[in-house]
Amino acid sequence: MAAGAEVRLLGERLSPYCIRVQQALAVKGVAGYEYVEEDLERKSQLLLSSNPVHGKVPVLLHRGAPVCESLVIVQYVDEAWAGPAILPSDPYERSRARFWAAYIDDKFFPSWEPFFKSNTAETFKNALPAVGTLEGALEECSNGKPFFGGDSIGYVDVALGGYLGWIKAVDEVAGTSLLDGARFPRLAAWAESFAAADAVRGASPAVQDIVAFYKKMQAGGETGASH
Amino acid sequence: MAAGAEVRLLGERLSPYCIRVQQALAVKGVAGYEYVEEDLERKSQLLLSSNPVHGKVPVLLHRGAPVCESLVIVQYVDEAWAGPAILPSDPYERSRARFWAAYIDDKFFPSWEPFFKSNTAETFKNALPAVGTLEGALEECSNGKPFFGGDSIGYVDVALGGYLGWIKAVDEVAGTSLLDGARFPRLAAWAESFAAADAVRGASPAVQDIVAFYKKMQAGGETGASH
């Protein structure tokens, strides 16, 4: 459905959290919304007044009312619009999806984030246990289907999907393969399915753009995706 | 409704996160469940197998199926049982409730947690800004009614309510008044209303028990409510 200026997203193009929200909007079929790129060095008055507590992107403005924090936004998008479900309908499955989305932000990301500063063999090794846990989560959630959400992209998929371009970019620069098929066959297949999925095509920046940004970060020219 | 052994809660009596879940079960009217006290120095096999990722309490077992992470549990309780609603029904209000519950765990608690180590004037001062933000949140959410949830205890109420006994205990030992009526009139009134509410009476330990535990922590005999 066309959302027009009724829906605005304040974002930063390469932020995993903004990508995640754009993927959720795409899955839900919310189209034609206004995307506003923020300069985080000079935040707009609209951003500061819409998210006075954190001052961070993403912020979704729906008929002017701000929704902040990416996982809160994804749940809001799921509840406020008709369209394909992002969260499962069964309460227990919903609880598992929420558990794993929180794990991705609270455990996986902090274990992988050191790549922003250095990409040594130790950085890589330290990131593996959380990826291994996610391999198990995918087995648990997917019931042998391609996505955490089963046959279609759901809550855990966009939670992890927001980072996917970054994972690929870091792999390219560092010469690593985080979601290696030999080590993590399910996640490797998931990454391929996710990247190929019509539902989120166009909702993610080109990996090469992230590569260029990451190289600048490595050179000390950028402070990273800090939101 | 009586839950019998169909519902088991693995907890630790003084953990704010376990208290929060017990408050949510009480609000929802889930009664007669089996409460299992865990010794966190010697975690049970049931705890470790129910929450292999974090190994933490609380864990709610519903017909044997484990739900972990206190805010995930509270949402599960709200969705899996009939009874008074814990989250609002309107998607936008739900998003605000989720935003503030996350704020309580991610910002308020870390700013107040230093009291576990020292209760100097500086510790107190550093905790005030987040409390001030919550005073504004209460104004925003309550529409002039006693609770974040309006006339009845809701999601943000139990998110903060799990800490309330701890706040009182620390105040008593430190000689402070974190939710002081002169500084934070809304939160001070909220704390009184919450403590007096029939819906959660009996779901929280006695403040004096927390005082005794906190004094031991201060003396170095306990490692704190680490879950």
Q: A59-62 and A65-68 as β-strands: parallel, antiparallel, unpaired?
A: antiparallel
What gap in Å lies between CA A227 and CA B168, rounded to an integer?
A: 34
Give me the amino acid identity at B31.
Answer: A
Distance of residue B200 Cα from the nearest chain A Cα, in angstroms: 23
Is residue A51 a part of any domain in this protein? yes
Q: How many domains does chain B have?
A: 2
Is residue A225 a part of any domain in this protein? no
Cross-chain residue pair B103–A72, CB shorter than 8 Å: no
Is residue B224 a part of any domain in this protein? no
Judge if B118 and B204 occupy the same domain.
yes
Is residue A85 a part of any domain in this protein? no
- pLDDT for residue B158: 98
Return residues 170-209 of B near A (CB < 8 Å). none
Distance of residue B69 Cα from the nearest chain A Cα, in angstroms: 7
Q: Does A22 contact chain B (CB < 8 Å)?
A: no
CB-nearest partner of A91 from B68, B76, B102: B76
What residues of chain A score a pLDDT lower than 70? 1-4, 221-227
Judge if B101 and B213 occupy the same domain.
yes
Judge if B119 and B211 occupy the same domain.
yes
Q: How far, in whole angstroms, is CA B59 from its chain's centroid?
A: 14
Judge if A149 and A207 occupy the same domain.
yes
Distance of residue B56 Cα from the nearest chain A Cα, in angstroms: 13
CB-nearest partner of B99 from A62, A72, A98: A72
Judge if B111 and B15 occupy the same domain.
no
Q: B34-37 and B7-11 as β-strands: parallel, antiparallel, unpaired?
A: parallel
Task: Determine contact, residues A160/A134, Cβ cutoff 8 Å.
Answer: yes
Which position has the token pair 């009596």?
A: B13
Name the nearest CA neighbour of B58 among B79, B33, B80, B88.
B33
The pLDDT mean for chain B works out to 94
The residues, any chain, with a CB within 8 Å of residue A136's CB and separated by 6 or more, are none
- pLDDT for residue A221: 63
Is residue B29 a part of any domain in this protein? yes
Q: What angle (nearest 5°) sits at the alpha carbon of residue B206, between those of residues B203 and B210? A: 115
Of A20, A46, A80, which residue constitutes the final position of a domain? A80
What gap in Å lies between CA A85 and CA B148, rounded to an integer?
A: 28
Judge if A206 and A132 occupy the same domain.
yes
Residues of A in contact with B94 (CB under 8 A): 75-76, 79
Q: Is A201 helix (H, G, I), strand (E, B) or coil?
A: coil
CA distances from A108 to A101, A136, A174 (A): 10, 13, 18
Per-residue pLDDT of chain B (227 residues; tens, 9 = 90+): 555 579 999 999 999 999 999 999 999 999 999 999 999 999 999 999 999 999 999 999 999 999 999 999 999 999 999 999 999 999 999 999 999 999 999 999 999 999 988 888 999 999 999 999 999 999 999 999 999 999 999 999 999 999 999 999 999 999 999 999 999 999 999 999 999 999 998 899 999 999 999 999 888 766 544 44
| Beta strand ranges found along chain B (DSSP E) | 7-11, 34-37, 59-62, 65-68
| Runs of H (alpha helix) within A5-120 | 16-28, 45-50, 70-80, 91-103, 109-112
Judge if B129 and B181 occupy the same domain.
yes
Judge if B148 and B95 occupy the same domain.
yes
Q: How many CB atoms lie within 10 A of CB A181?
A: 13
Of A52, A80, A108, which residue constitutes the final position of a domain? A80
Candidates A69, A99, A131, A135: best to mutate against B (most CBs of B within 10 A) is: A99
Q: Tokens standing for A118?
A: 């250095």
Is residue A172 a part of any domain in this protein? yes
Judge if B74 and B102 occupy the same domain.
no
What does the pLDDT look like over A2-39, one tens digit per residue?
555 799 999 999 999 999 999 999 999 999 999 999 99
- pLDDT for residue A202: 87
Distance of residue A169 Cα from the nearest chain B Cα, in angstroms: 28
Judge if A101 and A59 occupy the same domain.
no
- pLDDT for residue B223: 57
Q: Residue B107 belongs to a domain with what CATH number?
A: 1.20.1050.10
- pLDDT for residue A200: 94
Is residue A226 a part of any domain in this protein? no
Judge if A105 and A202 occupy the same domain.
yes
What gap in Å lies between CA A98 and CA A103, rounded to an integer?
A: 9
Structural domain for B23, as ranges = 4-80
Judge if B106 and B40 occupy the same domain.
no
Candidates A56, A67, A69, A72: best to mutate against B (most CBs of B within 10 A) is: A72
Q: Does A62 contact chain B (CB < 8 Å)?
A: yes
Is residue A227 a part of any domain in this protein? no
Look up the ipTM and state it.
0.95
Name the nearest CA neighbour of B117 among B174, B76, B190, B68.
B174
Of A37, A54, A80, which residue constitutes the final position of a domain? A80
Q: Residue A61 belongs to a domain with what CATH number?
A: 3.40.30.10
